[in-house]
Structure 1
Amino acid sequence: MITTTTRRSVARLPIISAAVAALVLGASGCATQAEETTDDAATNASYPITIDNCGADLSIEGEPETILTIGTSALSLLDAAGAADRIVARSGEFGAALPEDLSIDLSGVEIVDPSDPTTEKIVGANADVVVGYGLFNSTDEDLAASGITNIVIEGECSHDAGLTSATDFDAIFADIERLGAVFNTSDVAAENVAELKAELDELEADAGTAEEKSAAVVYYFSPASTLSARGGLGIANDILARAGMNNVYAAEESVYLETNVETLLDADPDVIVIAYGLYGEDFETAKALLFDEPGTSDLTAVKNGTVIGVLASDLAPDPDAIRGLRTVIDSTATFSE
């Protein structure tokens, strides 16, 4: 059963494996409709199935039982798809916090590598499949030799191949449904997608009367890195558009791009969104890095106090982007108060 405590909370179905469902049924002699759906879903998929994996056909020979994730978006997507209970190892999170509001506690799942895992680390995790933002210290061929399948998040395909179109909320919903098909949890995925779409519709209605502004999403990958921004092909661009803002970097045909303060000064957006938390830093730390850059005191957003913070994990191609949109809409609504 889906429960919604407030309009601004994204509810997700509780995840229950077929084995747990069987124990519950045996103990009680009855089951709720949600439990029956989950139990039935475990027996009605037909393998092998073929999915699109960043433009290539990928065959899934049987229902995967164990997962290694790379990056936090994989955690949120798998949770929404109904398969987070199969995660046996994590990686590629770079010290970032776990996504909020996951339906199960993943804090005890081993992190085999906080950065990009090697083939050895991946194989050692004993997972059937890898789900994440792509491979940097391994290859699909190396994993296939060990019988491991690599599934790349749709919105992260630009890490391995050039995106041909922008990632938006529809792509996130499609990714949840794709993972539901892979893990034989399509009923759970479909119901959670319906919940997310309803939440998105309500948020867009809230933003409908907002005055149009220009904006930029910027971030630092580490304290020593240069300023970066979000371009026109990522979910952050769609978030700004749905919040009634024009991304000053929208013409950049990329998701992530290295930039500098000079380009930010030239664009001089009305609103600056700082994506923070990429390496565990808080908003004040990330803001201090930006404000320490020469010339930033001349920015309109700095002078007007229209600099806001959004968790970087809420500006990623996964269900938490709904919360990112909510933060942008709520924060900018206070500017006129």
Structure 2
Amino acid sequence: MTSRTRRTGLAFGVLAALLATGCGAEVADSAEPAATVTVPRCGEEVEYRTPQRAVAYEGGSADKLFALGLTDRVHGYVMPPANPPVTESPWAAEYARVEMLSDDLLNKELVVDAGADLVVAGWNSGFSDQRGITPQILDQLGIQSFMHSESCFNYPNFPQRLTPFEGLYSDLERLGAIFGVPDRAATVVADLKARVAAVQARAPQGDPVPVFLYDSGTDQPFTAGAQVPPTDIIRIAGGRNIFADLDVRWSQVGWEAVTSAQPEVIIILDYGDQPAQEKIDFLRTSPLTRELPAVRDNRFFVLDYNEGISGPRNVDGLEKFADYLRTLS
């Protein structure tokens, strides 16, 4: 998964409250947005100019911009092979209106060549010390950057901790402020929150079903820890991620830990380049997993890659998984 490889002018000080609350600033939309606005980038206060040529890395970043009606401000996107085809996206028409810049990993040369004035990605999922593209490096080049909140908990010097769904709401509100469309962002967030509340109201009662998310790996499985959206999806729907105690985003674990947890449901993360059926076949035949309750009972749920990384499609994945869990009650 590519998420693991997976700034004077007028400033709106009230936006600093986003750090703690995840709430957006109450700034009226207008045809002439403020020249600059101060918004937290992870835990750091950053002054943003209104972007006109944004570059998005992966589906979650692009989806957030498209959901806010910002297609005209998106110059292009970078989409590595793990992402399913953009033609399958609810925003397929929006993707068609902007340029696909690369099907490889994000890099500095690409965004410079694109004339980007904002890059939207995650820390260690797009931005990377090892690959030489970080917010600090882009700052020096005069290119703005925005990081997904769910990736900020271990961002050096400016960590921030929000639950994954709180991070999603915060990201949409912050992007709404940066682009001068806070009212639009508030509407999008209110709709997502209402859908989440509807799922919570119908969640099965009783002990949560133990759930294992299988990302990839045969010698050692790669799975979801506490800091990524699938853990919130599982919890809100009425289940329990057996690795929710791991204070990480994505991590390798041992098969012994999986078998001792005896998961009753397995979520398969479906990549564009690692089909779900291949992973299911492995779990059914491996002596390490074939006797797990979820495998014996054929309780597999396929979660689309873009429903598992931070973006508005997280709520689509939540609704689908909640529907599935209710069939087991």
Question: TM > 0.5 between the two?
Answer: yes
| 1:103 positional shift | 7.6
For residue 289 of structure 1, report the CA deviation from its aligned partner.
3.7
Shift of 1:261: 2.1
Question: Partner residue of 2:198?
Answer: 202
Q: SS state of the match for residue 280, structure 1?
A: coil
- The CA deviation string for residues 65-118 of structure 1, in whole angstroms up to 9 with x for no partner, is 111111211012112233233221211533412363228420353332323222
1:302 is displaced (CA, Å) by 0.4
AA partner of residue 198 (structure 1): A
SS at match of 2:137: helix
Tell me which residue corresponds to 2:221.
Answer: 227
Normalising to structure 1: TM-score of the pair?
0.79
| 1:168-183 matches, cutoff 5 A | 168-183=164-179
In the TM superposition, residue 128 of structure 1 has moved relative to its aligned partner by 0.8
State whether residues 216 and 272 of structure 1, in contact with CA within 8 Å, keep that contact through their aligned partners in structure 2. yes
Closer, same or farther in 2 for the Cα pair 1:242/1:130, shift >3 Å? Answer: same
- 1:216 paired with 2:196, answer no
Classify 1:106/1:92 alpha carbon distance in 2 versus 1 (closer, same or farther; 3 Å): closer
2:269 is the counterpart of 1:269:
no
Stretches of structure 1 that go unaligned for 5 or more consecutive residues are: 1-38
1:133-187 Cα shifts (integer Å, max 9, x gaps): 2312213333233321111111122574496535232321121010000011112
CA distance in 1 between counterparts of 2:176 and 2:102 reads: 26
Tell me the alpha carbon deviations over residues 268-325 of structure 1, each in whole angstroms, 9 at most, x when there is no partner.
1111111112x43432133224334432111111011212111121122221111111
Cα 1:40–1:152, aligned 2, differ >3 Å: closer, same or farther? closer
Q: Cα distance 1:225–1:296, how it changes in 2: closer, same or farther (>3 A)?
A: closer
In structure 2, relative to structure 1, the CA distance for the partners of 1:170 and 1:139 (3 Å cut) is: closer
1:157 counterpart residue number:
152
Greater C-alpha radius of gyration: 1
1:85 pairs with 2:81: no
The residue identity in structure 1 corresponding to 2:213 is V
Q: Distance in 1 between matches of 2:183 and 2:290?
A: 51
1:25 corresponds to which residue? none
Instruction: Say whether 1:144 aligns with 2:135.
Output: no
Residues 275 and 309, structure 1, Cα contact 8 Å, conserved in 2: yes
In the TM superposition, 1:293-312 aligns within 5 A as 293-312=286-305
In structure 2, relative to structure 1, the CA distance for the partners of 1:85 and 1:141 (3 Å cut) is: same
Contact 1:158 1:255 in 2 (8 A): no
Q: What is the alpha-carbon distance in structure 2 between the residues aligned to residue 141 and residue 197 of structure 1?
A: 33
- Say which of 119, 124, 138 aligns to 1:130: 119
1:49 has 2:44 as partner: no
Letter of the 2:148 counterpart: I
Q: What is the Cα deviation at residue 249 of structure 1?
A: 0.5
Moved over 6 A (4+): none
Which of 307, 312, 316 is the matching residue for 1:323? 316
Instruction: Give the direction of change, closer, same or farther, for the CA distance of 1:110–1:159 in structure 2 (3 Å limit).
Output: farther
Report the count of equivalent residues: 293
Structure 2 residues not aligned, in runs of 5+: 1-27
Change (3 A) 1:116 1:85: same
Q: Which amino acid aligns with 1:144?
A: D
Q: Give the whole-Å Cα distance in 2 for the aligned partners of 1:150 and 1:84.
A: 17
Identity of aligned residues (%): 24
Cα pair 2:149 2:171 within 8 Å, conserved: yes
1:190 to 186, 190, 193: 186
Q: Output the CA distance in 1 between the equivalents of 2:99 and 2:154.
A: 25
TM-score w.r.t. the length of structure 2 is 0.81
